[in-house]
Amino acid sequence: MNAFRVGLIGLGTVGQGVLRVLQRNAGEIAGRAGRRIVVTHAAMRDPARLRDCDLSGVQLGTDPMAVVNAEVDAVVELIGGISPARELVLAALQRGKPVVTANKALLAEHGNEIVESAGRNGAQLAYEAAVGGGIPIIKALREGLAGNSIDSLAGIINGTCNYILTQMTAKGQSFADALADAQKLGYAEADPTFDVEGIDAAHKLTILAAIAFGMPLRFEAVATEGISAVTAQDIQLAQELGYRIKSLGIAKRNSLGVELRVHPTLVPAGHLLAKTDGALNAIRVHGNAVGQTAYVGRGAGGDATASAVVADLVDVARLQGADPRHFVPYLGFRAEALRDKRALTFAEIESAYYLRLRVADEPGVLRAITSILAELDISIEAILQKEPREHEDATLAIITSQIPEHRCNGALEKMLQLPFVRPGASRLRVEHFE
């Protein structure tokens, strides 16, 4: 049987990884796909740049549309961003060519258009590498858990944030110092906004929630908070209260609609997500039949992400020429079965909360603060009082019961009006995963 020919758009870290994995594991891959899978065409931005892979037999160029138009059996898009990636992916699909992509931003923001085009043209669309790097979470949700109604999922889906918070926990570093280390190691970009403000994780959560809940992709509905306001003191106090702080993407559904949120979160220290450190990713999924399942692994890196790209290519090669009705649905549900769902705002979501207050060291402070919580019918699950050093204020850390955000905000506003409470309080959400 003839080899399955691949056109590769992008020869950066992941693109080179795809070539290495296809060459290193050629025998196993051919055994699984039923034929050899080879890259025959590739487009790159800088032909002069040295690359850590064998490019013999690959027709190279700088025009990505030439790859789309070439005699290839599938197009792999690895350049990222919205444009020209969107135009290239749509052009390939309009020609009926399967597309494999790792582009979470493109899928989150324009995925509904892309899915519609794939269906209209009978072309395969695969994107395992868009979420979780080498973790097969897309396949797990679309296929392995297809017999379940998914209640919720939560995960560490941005390795940069996880590395920064791990450094702050392990070394007591400030956010700024931990970020600088992440940039030196290549975990964070020179402009880290997409990572540390939760945008990258929101893109990934958009994709996971669509598959889990059978809904269109709704990136604009994800409520997002970054980690830049988390302090070393918050990290330390959380530890003393029995928690770790992690940046999580969380999707839940209830009778009111769906919660789609990304934010720093206190997680019980014994939980799997609390123990996932460094640049690793971890995702917990709860289905009504299987219960809790968990997926942990490298969320980025050339060969790890290439592993997911190649797995998609194996699936695409197996189904070449098949009736499109036999494809796994692009978002896990048939197009006619997708249902839009109301997305709850932060103000509507219930959560437990961690509050940190800096207060004057004088009698009656604790009584006044707990009185405010009592007036608003907010229970205290835990409280920690740190005595001041000389000439400093005292610190109070409180874990509340589960309450709507507007009640928490109302209580915090009243507390900050007390004469002995200083500006600069901290408020973070707490998840117990019960």
Give the active site residues: 204
Residue 2: what are its φ and ψ, rounded to 5°?
-65, 155
The three-class DSSP label of residue 253 is strand
Q: What angle do CA 271, 277, 280 make, to 5 degrees?
A: 105
| Antiparallel, parallel or unpaired: β 99-101 and 74-77 | parallel
What stretch of H or E contains 93? helix 85-94
Beta strand 125-126 with 150-156 is unpaired
**Gap between the Cα atoms of 161 and 53, Å rounded:** 30
Residue 207 · residue 111 · CB < 8 Å: yes
Residue whose C-alpha is closest to residue 228's, from 276, 188, 258, 261: 188
354 CB contacts (<8 Å, ≥6 apart)? 234, 237, 238, 241, 243, 266, 397, 398, 399, 400, 426, 427, 428, 429, 430
Give the 3-state secondary structure percentages of the chain, helix then strand then coil, rounded to 5.
40, 25, 35
Q: Do residues 100 and 127 touch, judged by C-beta distance below 8 A?
A: yes
Q: Which residue has the tokens 């907010």?
A: 378
CA 160/CA 184 separation, integer angstroms = 12
